[in-house]
Amino acid sequence: MKRCSLLVLCLSAFAAEAPKPFSAQSSSTISTTATKDGFGTIEIRNVTFEAVTNVPGRAPADWLVLRKTVHSKETIGDIGVEATVTLEAWPMGTDLKQKPLYTVNTTGTDGHTQDSALFVVSRGLEEVEWWSAHKLGSGQHLFDSYVPILSFSISRDTVETRYAGLYVPEDDEKDARLKQPNVIAVITYASADRVLHEALLTSDSRNQATILRSFADETRTLTYEERPARALKLTFTQNYPSAPNPVEVVIPLAKDDLDLSNAKLPPHLHLSAWKR
């Protein structure tokens, strides 16, 4: 009876705070144009709506209306695409002609919500795939990753969700510290609210670091393991026609953090705490 009464009270509170009815619409478009070489271009603007609740950083009963716009322009026959992703957020019931709570506008080919906590944008416009994570409650950028962003729970009792990613410096890296020839990547461990810990992976061998950092020669995967103990496993595999020659790094998780001191590393590789 107590449980039923509590449920009724919760539903009554939600009904009392229910937003006013509203409606909105936006148009998706596609167009093509001819070019002198005869290939032509394709321009697409896709608009989608989504409603989310239980967003970290906002009241549990709050609902947000999200409008995602993906605008792309592609020349047939060319490699790559010009594309942007825009996310706008309003409290449920707000006239969408009003200024949104926030706007995320970045290069990318698509975006999706994850766990009603993050907005993840696919940023790869050419040959290299990578992703950016933003807080769904505020739009603030959280971290970037060159593997699909990993989501997992660290507690079966409280469903504490954590996220992990891998940042691999490209040739045009702006942070001088990540341009060092021994640097391979940065592992990120985060909650929906903030980055909790980052670790820098380096090698004593410049040649090994160059190979593991290569986008053309290596495939990287990041997985979460619960047994025999909770850990993140990072695997580097050489691409065909080379032999796979997998290189594995295992980082235990302890007390909601990366346990770098007990990480399992191949010869010549090292992990150290890192701050942006």
Q: Name the residue range of residue 162's domain.
A: 146-276
Per-residue pLDDT reduced to its tens digit, 109-144: 999 999 999 999 999 877 789 999 999 999 999 999
User: What are the C-alpha distances in Å from 159 to residues 162, 199, 229?
Assistant: 9, 24, 17
Residue 40: the pLDDT is 87
Assess whether pLDDT exceeds 60 at residue 12. Answer: no
Residues 132 and 154 grouped into a single domain? no
Q: Buried (b) or exposed (e) across 140-166, using 16+ Cβ within 10 A?
A: eebbbbbbebbbbebeeeeeebbbbbb
Residues 107 and 152 grouped into a single domain? no
Report the pLDDT averaged over residues 6-22: 47
pLDDT grade for 145, boundaries at 50, 70 and 90: very high
Assess whether pLDDT exceeds 60 at residue 3. Answer: no
Assess whether pLDDT exceeds 90 at residue 66. Answer: yes
Instruction: Note the residue count of the chain.
Output: 276
pLDDT grade for 2, boundaries at 50, 70 and 90: very low
Structure tokens at 119: 């907005």
Structure tokens at 253: 């998780």
Arithmetic mean of pLDDT over the chain? 89
145/133 Cα distance (integer angstroms): 8
Residue 17: the pLDDT is 55
pLDDT grade for 21, boundaries at 50, 70 and 90: confident
Residue 79: the pLDDT is 73
Within a domain: residue 68? yes
Q: What percent of the chain has pLDDT over 90?
A: 74
Q: List all residues 6 or more positions away from 61 whose beta carbon is below 8 Å from its beta carbon.
A: 13, 14, 17, 53
Residue 24: the pLDDT is 74
32/96 Cα distance (integer angstroms): 29
User: What are the C-alpha distances in Å from 93 to residues 18, 90, 148, 200?
Assistant: 9, 8, 33, 45
124/145 Cα distance (integer angstroms): 11
pLDDT grade for 34, boundaries at 50, 70 and 90: confident
Within a domain: residue 6? no
Report the pLDDT averaged over residues 17-40: 76
Assess whether pLDDT exceeds 60 at residue 7. Answer: no
Listed residues 91, 106, 136: the one ending a domain: 136
Residues 156 and 234 grouped into a single domain? yes
Residues 168 and 110 grouped into a single domain? no
Residues 183 and 107 grouped into a single domain? no
Per-residue pLDDT reduced to its tens digit, 189-239: 999 999 999 999 999 999 999 999 999 999 999 999 988 899 999 999 999
Report the pLDDT averaged over residues 155-166: 86
Residues 128 and 160 grouped into a single domain? no
Residues 78 and 167 grouped into a single domain? no
Residue 14: the pLDDT is 43
Residue 16: the pLDDT is 40
